């Protein structure tokens, strides 16, 4: 493949500039700078070289850095689930690595691909240190408003949330730490976050998958989001039940487009909003001539990135 | 990036096996075997080594093969639009290369990315010899059938069409040889191929983009398809106007799924059908656990493949 150099031109749209922020790993130097992380033959992530060095030197029972002659590069291996857990516990007090400071006491199941068996369990907060794949579910609540036309409910995240406090977000989103019964998980999250009763979700439909790779100071997030969509009656107003949302706001597709361009919108929720704008025909190639690049930034081929060693 | 080795397991779904047929270039050995094609600094395609050799040896005014020290490989350059046109004309009689035998007298505009200026014009039939990007428009005609529920119109291509004769295809598709006014081009194609009057297309909506890379004996097809969708009244039946379609058939989403698994369905129309099945919630991660791979196969990042030299 040709190298992925993106040259800016004066004509680039605000949305193209934004999409390079939510999907800033594959197109940046980060990818070539990071070490691939393996668990046995399975490529499960990426790690920054400075973290790789600290970990392989101080926790040799858990991690090993070694040259890979077939690639002409260095790889980083996680040696076992048990040694990983022990090392991470020690790293909380012995290192300054940010990811292990935000400990959540929640185990994430790591697999190279979604349909393959779980390879190992890892404390959720540490997954981003190793650039391990994360999965989530997102619901877009649609209302056919008598005056404004097709509208979408947005939520503003509570000011005390550990991540992205006070930022605007799509209707409902939740992480998938266990992978069973995705639809049921979405229904449960919609009830907790937005007070949407199950009866209003009976026509909820699957609406595809959004994948992107976000790199930020906290860590690396290769994310895959299972999208759902439901039409809600205009008489219904979402109401938060679990304290995680401060307010809801109904916006037209035009207002949604404007909202995501504002820095108050959670950058890693923009891909799901863009998917919705494309699905409903608001964004098309005639109004947005760089739509191909934008669409690629919400369909990053993570399954192809994470494959077994040849 | 990790290498893209796909290992089969007994559990793979028929749709996953099919998606590796319509998108068989990036995942095959073809990619590493082919030479990247440049026009100046622009990466515009791929060429098979045996064709590269014949062309650079016999038409040195048009083509040059040379080692690329930064890549440790060989690249192939198209030297000018004029010398290319002259060489292709001569190749029709002087070589056995299949692509130039199917001459169409239609010029394709080649650009590295859709929104960038045209780099050169090339006879349409030869574009696949150089793996140059092709664009098209597709319309999915939806009917809410009183008994069968949500349905889609399919067409069977005429038996005398030069490509894929007699195969089943989505409602309407057309190549974009010029790039102006895509929506108008789609309306025109819908009238010619399926007799859909413009008045029935007033609510036609853009429905995203499908990209895939198909490799076959005729050549290499990195294709990007602009998707449109329209709801048609159940009283309307498509009627071909230009002799390119033999019959139309209305199928439910379930029947559409079954149709694409049948070899009588045009393999390069399957991605557009799958996009429709995902958009309408027929395919989801619970019924199709390998949906991520399938979705990646209809959103191949061609914009990332074709970039300028660093």
- Would the pLDDT of A5 be above 60? no
What is residue B208's predicted lDDT score, i.e. its pLDDT? Answer: 97
What is residue A162's predicted lDDT score, i.e. its pLDDT? Answer: 83
Decide: helix, strand or coil at residue A225: strand
Task: Identify which of B183, B290, B303 has the shortest CB distance to residue A296.
Answer: B303
C-alpha neighbours within 13 Å on the C-beta side of residue A16: 18
Q: What is the DSSP secondary structure assignment for residue A178, as one 8-state letter? A: S
Percent of chain A with pLDDT over 70: 94
Angle at B246 between CA B245 and CA B248, to 5 degrees: 85
pLDDT interval class at A7 (50, 70, 90): very low
**Pick among A285, A288, A291 to test the B interface (most B CBs inside 10 A):** A285
Residues 6+ apart with CB under 8 A from A256: A152, A154, A273, A276, A277, A282
Query: In a 10 Å sphere around its CB, with 0-12 CB exposed, 13-18 middle and 19+ buried, how is residue A158 labelled?
Result: middle
Nearest CA in chain A to B230: A281
What is residue A309's predicted lDDT score, i.e. its pLDDT? Answer: 64
**C-beta atoms of B6 and A205 within 8 A:** no
Range list of β-strands (E), chain B: 35-39, 42-47, 63-68, 73-78, 107-110, 120-123, 134-145, 149-157, 168-169, 172-175, 205-216, 219-231, 245-252
For residue range B256-294, what is the model confidence (pLDDT) as tens digits? 999 999 999 999 999 999 999 999 999 999 999 999 999
Q: In chain A, what residues touch B2 (CB-CB under 8 Å)?
A: 36, 43, 305-307, 309
In order of A133, B134, B165, B173, the CA distances from B186 in angstroms are 39, 16, 22, 8
Average pLDDT score, chain A: 91
Q: What sign for the dihedral angle of Cα B287, B291, B295, B297?
A: negative
What is residue A122's predicted lDDT score, i.e. its pLDDT? Answer: 95
Per-residue pLDDT, averaged over A293-302, amounts to 96
Per-residue pLDDT, averaged over B197-215, amounts to 97
Contact B122, B107 (CB under 8 A): yes
pLDDT interval class at A176 (50, 70, 90): confident
- CB of B32 less than 8 A from some CB of A: no
Percent of chain B with pLDDT over 70: 94
- CB of A33 less than 8 A from some CB of B: no
pLDDT interval class at B219 (50, 70, 90): very high
Q: In chain A, what residues touch B137 (CB-CB under 8 Å)?
A: none
Contact B41, B308 (CB under 8 A): yes
**C-beta atoms of B209 and A285 within 8 A:** yes
- Would the pLDDT of B309 be above 70? no
Range list of β-strands (E), A217-270: 219-231, 245-252
**CA-CA distance, A211 to B194, in Å (whole number)?**
36
Residue bearing tokens 């299949």: B98
Q: How many CB pairs under 8 A join A and B?
A: 149
**C-beta atoms of B301 and A299 within 8 A:** yes
- Would the pLDDT of B297 be above 50? yes
**C-beta atoms of A285 and B226 within 8 A:** yes
**Rg for chain A (alpha carbons), in Å?**
20
What is residue A22's predicted lDDT score, i.e. its pLDDT? Answer: 96
- CB of A293 less than 8 A from some CB of B: yes
Per-residue pLDDT, averaged over B201-230, amounts to 96
Mean pLDDT lowest for which of A119-128, B24-33, B114-123? B24-33
Mean pLDDT lowest for which of A56-60, B110-114, B268-272? B110-114
For residue range B57-78, what is the model confidence (pLDDT) as tens digits? 999 999 999 988 776 789 999 9
Residue B159, min C-alpha distance to chain A (Å): 33
Q: Which is nearest to A54 in space by CA: A25, A94, A86, A19? A: A94
- Would the pLDDT of B6 be above 50? no
- Would the pLDDT of B123 be above 60? yes
Q: In chain B, what residues touch A224 (CB-CB under 8 Å)?
A: 292
With helix as H, strand as E and coil as C, how does A25-51 read? CCCCCHHHHCEEEEECCEEEEEECHHH
Helix (H) or strand (E) segment spanning residue B40: none
**CA-CA distance, A79 to A55, in Å (whole number)?**
12
- Domains in chain A, start-ordered, CATH in brackets? 27-131 (3.30.750.160), 134-302 (3.90.79.10)
Pairing relationship of beta strands A134-145 and A219-231 according to DSSP bridges: parallel
What is residue A116's predicted lDDT score, i.e. its pLDDT? Answer: 87
């Amino acid at each position: 493949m040709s190298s992925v150099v993106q040259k800016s031109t004066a004509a680039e749209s605000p949305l193209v500039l934004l999409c390079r922020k939510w999907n800033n790993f594959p197109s940046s130097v980060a990818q070539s700078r990071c070490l691939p992380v393996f668990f046995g033959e399975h490529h499960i992530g990426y790690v920054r070289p400075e973290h790789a060095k600290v970990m392989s030197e101080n926790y040799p029972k858990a991690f090993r850095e070694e040259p890979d002659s077939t690639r002409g590069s260095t790889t980083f291996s996680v040696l076992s689930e048990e040694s990983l857990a022990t090392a991470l516990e020690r790293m909380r007090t012995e290192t300054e690595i940010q990811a292990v400071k935000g400990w959540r006491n929640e185990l994430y199941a790591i697999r190279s691909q979604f349909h393959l068996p779980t390879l190992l369990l890892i404390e959720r907060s540490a997954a981003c240190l190793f650039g391990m794949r994360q999965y989530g579910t997102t619901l877009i609540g649609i209302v056919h408003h008598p005056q404004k036309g097709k509208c979408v409910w947005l939520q503003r995240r509570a000011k005390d949330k550990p991540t992205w406090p006070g930022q605007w977000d799509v209707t409902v989103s939740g992480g998938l730490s266990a992978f069973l019964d995705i639809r049921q998980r979405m229904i449960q999250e919609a009830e907790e976050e937005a007070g949407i009763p199950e009866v209003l979700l009976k026509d909820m439909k699957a609406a595809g998958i959004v994948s992107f790779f976000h790199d930020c100071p906290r860590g690396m997030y290769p994310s895959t989001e299972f999208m759902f969509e439901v039409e809600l009656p205009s008489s219904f107003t979402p109401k938060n039940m679990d304290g995680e949302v401060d307010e809801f706001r109904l916006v037209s597709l035009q207002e949604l487009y404007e909202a995501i361009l504002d820095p108050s919108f959670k950058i890693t929720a923009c891909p799901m909003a863009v998917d919705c704008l494309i699905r409903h025909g608001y964004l098309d190639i005639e109004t947005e001539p760089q739509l191909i690049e934008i669409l690629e930034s919400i369909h990053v081929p993570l399954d192809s990135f994470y494959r077994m060693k040849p």
